[in-house]
Structure formats: structure tokens, C-alpha cells
Amino acid sequence: MAGTARQVHLGRELKKLRTAKGLSLDDVAAHLERSRSTVGHWESGHSRVGPNDLREVLKLYGASEELGEQLQQLRREAGKRGWWQSYKLPAHLAPFVGFEAEASEIFHFELGLVPGLLQTQSYAREVHEVGRLTLTDEQLREWVEVRLKRQERIQPGHGLTLHAVVAEEALHRTVGSPSVMAEQLEHLVKASKLPTVNLRVLPFDAGVHVGMVGPITVLRFPDAGHADIAYSDTPLGGHVIDDLRDVAELSRLFASLEPQALPAVESRKVLRRIGGDYAARMKE
């Protein structure tokens, strides 16, 4: 079972301390009289380390008292259930939703779809319906419900800022019907006015760009000690990316797209124009 975001974060910190000390998993396992797989599961976030084991590990790694208390606090917080854990989410998605719930900034580029945190219920249902694979009706309902609940964080006062760049082609792709799209475009216009949302459109005339290979998602956290992470989504599932070089490269790619995107005011004009086109098609 996938661990919580805090549990995964704690595991990464433990792995950094171990490698800095030049110790192997076998070394730590022998010292604690635990199995190698147990220590490995702590580092991957797949299982929760107990307070005594954590204390012994930190002593072995020579961690400072201050760092030790920070990591013990992180361990305690990792035991708290997140709202998403009451849903039957896929193993690949649950950790990402947990990280998303902790993030202070999200940098997201979408090529073919409206960004998930900005989708309407009707649009989200159509998207999940197409990609449902073996989802039951109940699972489909839950996935859509989770997506909508995740969107609560972009409302002011929830500690998250969304920086989203969406390719114009995604806005012209009819998902469901002109009615669904007209509602979706109107929703984007409203969302773009939120102080917590920086939404910009990458126009057709931007030409060839680095985002043509697929979406980009990078999460940043309020804790300076928590490194940025990224997420990669595929038809068969997604996975969290935590390699510092890979995340830095994805951040660079996103940053390179921003100058090519329209300013916020111009982006809103494009959203209104395309939304108007869909509204006109509803009357045909």
C-alpha cells in the first residue's frame, strides 16, 4: 500500500541521511536487527517507521537533535489520515493526491486536456468515462468526486497557488458536447480571476514548443526542506518523480513555456471567444 505524502517525505530524508553516512540498507538492517526489506520500505514510504526505530536510526546517522525532532514530528503527522484515504484510489494516484494536498504551488502544463484542477464535473466525467478501462460506475463516480474535492485547494485561503498553462488545442477539442465545453470555458474564465490561479493559454501560433511531448506537473512545498516533486501520467497509470535533476529539468521546461503563453488578460479573451463559439454551436 502506498504511503502518505509525509511518510514518503520522511523516507526520502532517511535515505539521504543513510547515503550521506555511506551506509547500505544491509548495514542499517543489521544494526537494528531488522530485515533489509523493512528498512527499504521505510525509505520508500511503503511502511511507517516506529518512534524507537526512528530514534535508533537517527542516532546511527549522527543526526542533530533539532533534525531528529523535526523528523519525529513528521513521523507523527504521517499517521494522520488524509481525506482522500477514505476513497479507493489507485495505488499510483494516492501518493500524488497526498503531495498535492501539502503543496503550496503547482506548475502545470496541459497539451490535450483542461488541467484537472480546473475541470467542471461534466468535463471530468467525460474524460474519466473515455479512459475508464475497467472502472465500475461506482469507481467512476468516486474518481470524479475526488477530482472535484481536490479543486477546493485552489480557492483563496487554502494555501495553494496554481500556475497553469493550457495549449489552445485542448480548448478546441470537444469533450462530451458543445454544452459541456461552453460550461467548461465559462468555468475557466471565472477561475482565471481567482488570486490563487495564474491561468494562461499557449496559442496555436506559438509553433513548436517543449510541451508537445506531453503534460508537465511540478509541485512545490512550503517547507524549504521538502524538495519539489513532479508527476508523470500515462494511460496505464502515473508515478511520482523525485529525482532532483529530473524535477529541475521539468521545472525548466515549464518556465520556458511561460514566455510563449499569452498574458492573463489576453488568455481570458481567448477563453471567452472559444466559449462563445461553443455556445453558438449549442443553438445549431
pLDDT digits (tens, 9 = 90+) for 250-282: 999 999 999 999 999 999 999 999 999 999 998
Which of 30-39, 190-199, 233-242 has maximum average pLDDT? 190-199
User: What is the identity of the amino acid at 37?
Assistant: S
Separation between Cα atoms, residue 261 and residue 111, nearest integer Å = 12
pLDDT digits (tens, 9 = 90+) for 152-174: 999 999 999 999 999 999 999 99
Separation between Cα atoms, residue 133 and residue 150, nearest integer Å = 22
pLDDT digits (tens, 9 = 90+) for 68-114: 988 888 888 777 777 777 777 777 788 888 889 889 999 999 999 99
pTM as predicted: 0.81
Separation between Cα atoms, residue 284 and residue 281, nearest integer Å = 5
Separation between Cα atoms, residue 30 and residue 26, nearest integer Å = 6
Chain-centre distance for alpha carbon 74: 20
Asked whether the beta carbons of 99 and 218 are under 8 A apart, the reply is no
pLDDT digits (tens, 9 = 90+) for 28-65: 999 999 999 999 988 887 788 899 999 999 999 999 99
Domains of the chain, CATH where assigned: 5-80 (1.10.260.40), 84-282 (3.30.870)
